[in-house]
Each structure stands twice: as C-alpha cells, then as structure tokens.
Amino acid sequence: MRTLRWFTLIALGAASLAAEQTHDLSQAQIDDIVQKFAAKEAAFAKAREAYTYRQTARIQELDAGGAITGRWETVSDIVFSPEGKRTEHVVRSPVPSLHNISLTPEDLQDMKDVQPFVLTTNELPKYLIRYLGHQKVDEIGCFVFAVKPKKLEGTQRYFSGEVWVDDRDLQIVKTYGRGVGIAKRQAFPKFETYREQIDGKYWFPTYTVANDTLHFPDGQDQRIRQTMRYEDYKQFGAETKIIFGDEAKEETKPNSPAAPPKPPAKP
C-alpha cells in the first residue's frame, strides 16, 4: 500500500519545485503521460461510484486572531438504496452560525466536484496542461503539472492549479488550487486535496483543507478555514471490480479498504 502522510504534505504545502530534481521529458513523453493518467482518472471515477463513504464538510469564519466566529457543518453518508441507487443521506447538519459569508451554489459545486478534482480523458480538451517537473512527495515520485481551463463557459466550475501524479501508478495523488468560473462578486479559497490508495489500487480523495482569506469585490475580507473529510470507503456489491490494463488477466478479489493514516488534528 502506498500512502501520503498528511503531516508531511501540509508542511510542504505548495512547495516550489526549485529544490527538486527535474526530469527532462520530450513533449511526446509528456503527452503520453497525460493521456495515460487521464485514462486512469476515468477508471478511478468509475470505481469511486461503486463505493460508499462518509463525507464531513466544515467551514469556519475566523477573526484576525484565528478565533472561530461562525460555523457551518454537514455530515453525510454516500450510500446505495435497496434498489442500488446512489444517494446522499444527511447524518448531521447543525444550524449554521456564519455571519459574514453565505454559501452559494458555486461553493457547493466546488465542494462536490472541483475540490476532489478528477481530470479524465473527456475533460482534457477543456484544460491547458503544462509540465512543471518531477517532485518527490513523502517518498513518492510525482510528475507535477499546472492545470487551468482554456475558457470559462456558462455556470460550469473548473479547477485551476497544480496536480501531482504518481510516476509509477500514473494517478493523481494531490491537488492544489482553487475553483474558478464565471461568478461575479464572489471569492473562492485556495485548497489542497490529498488522496490515499484504497484497495491497493485507486487513489481516492480523503482530505481537503483550505485556510485562506477571501477578498470580496466590495473591499471586505474574511478569513476562513474549510475541511472536507472522506472516510470509511467500502465497496458496494461483491460483483463490482474495476481493473486497469493487463490487470484484466488477474482474477483477484478486491481487498478491504486500507486503514487511513493518522489525520491532522481537527480544528
């Protein structure tokens, strides 16, 4: 099992690549890597649809000294109905006490789709992708790419930032950036999303953190802290199995979900 230790990643943050070894790749090699990891992302997205998990979303308003002045939290279980339909069951949703910000449809869409960013083959034409170099993150060698949308259209939300791709598995293991789109008079935080290898094969998102100051067009600033946790992944239905390439020749059963590493202390 290969995992990323969160305390190491948080210390790294969006660390510069200057101190890292740069792997010189031809454009053909870069294009091949992008196509391969996008295909893996498509398989990962399909695999995740067959899993149940618990999702905890939390946003906190902070004052200048870092004290919490307002909260919003929702705990949900992503489960399947007896008929096999995927659904979200809200376990806990306390009355919010946010004073200076309010959640918009764009915020909710970012939490659902952009922060656990998936760059599949079908999504590639929407993005400009630039190879930045090679970086070792917690002993895992990664190709690093800058990603930004080619253009913003309608109400669609996009990811803009950097992705770290495992140089062995060719799957995204970490993202750093923000959600972007055509949204006036709004501000969106920078975030980091970390993935963990589940069932020895798929890198699933397990933790997103944002600690940022939002700068609104009216000149008001608000510091926030946001966390998203995805826990207790379990595969639904023994007959479901997602495989990659030559693995189709192997008839092994899926393993139980890997135990997650010790998470950072909760705020």
Q: Using H for helix, E for strand and C for coil, what is the string for the chain?
A: CCCCCHHHHHHHCCCCCCCCCCCCCCHHHHHHHHHHHHHHHHHHHHHHCCEEEEEEEEEEEECCCCCEEEEEEEEEEEEECCCCCEEEEEEECCCCCCCCCCCCHHHHHHHHHHCCCCCCCCCHHHEEEEEEEEEEECCEEEEEEEEEECCCCCCCCEEEEEEEEECCCCCEEEEEEEEECCCCCCCCCCEEEEEEEECCCEEEEEEEEEEEEEECCCCCEEEEEEEEEEEEEEECCCCCCCCCHHHHHCCCCCCCCCCCCCCCCCC
Show the low-confidence residues of the chain (pLDDT under 70): 1-22, 238-267
164 located within any domain: yes
249 located within any domain: no
257 located within any domain: no
Structural domain harbouring 40: 6-11+33-240
Q: How many domains are contained in the chain? A: 1
20 located within any domain: no
154 located within any domain: yes
199 located within any domain: yes
pLDDT tens track for 9-42: 443 444 444 334 447 899 999 999 999 999 999 9
pTM: 0.80
63 located within any domain: yes
Which pLDDT belongs to residue 245? 43
pLDDT tens track for 116-148: 999 999 999 999 999 999 998 888 999 999 999
28 located within any domain: no
